[in-house]
Amino acid sequence: MKKLSYSGLKYGESDMEIKLLVDIQNDWLEITHTKEVSQVMNKTTGEYIVVNRNTLKFEVVS
């Protein structure tokens, strides 16, 4: 089972980091970008994060 953790600074905040966990074998994932923000959505659970575009990062957690 592979899980990815997406994180970044919350859009409109300068010091609040938010995270979203996605199971890439079982969840539908959508990532969108605009000039200012990146949005990562776990479409299976309906959870999402909106972060300042230049702060989006991910890591494999399992």
Q: What is the pLDDT of residue 62?
A: 84
Tokens of 8: 């970044």
Closest CA to 56 of 41, 37, 43: 37
Q: Cα–chain-centroid distance for residue 44?
A: 14
The 10s digit of each residue's pLDDT in 8-35 is: 999 998 899 999 999 999 999 999 999 9
Lookup: tokens for 34: 């605009």
In tens, the pLDDT along 45-60 reads: 999 999 999 999 999 9
Rounded to whole angstroms, how far apart are CA atoms 53 and 41?
14
* Predicted confidence band of residue 1 (pLDDT cuts 50, 70, 90): low
Nearest to 19 by CA among 6, 31, 34: 6
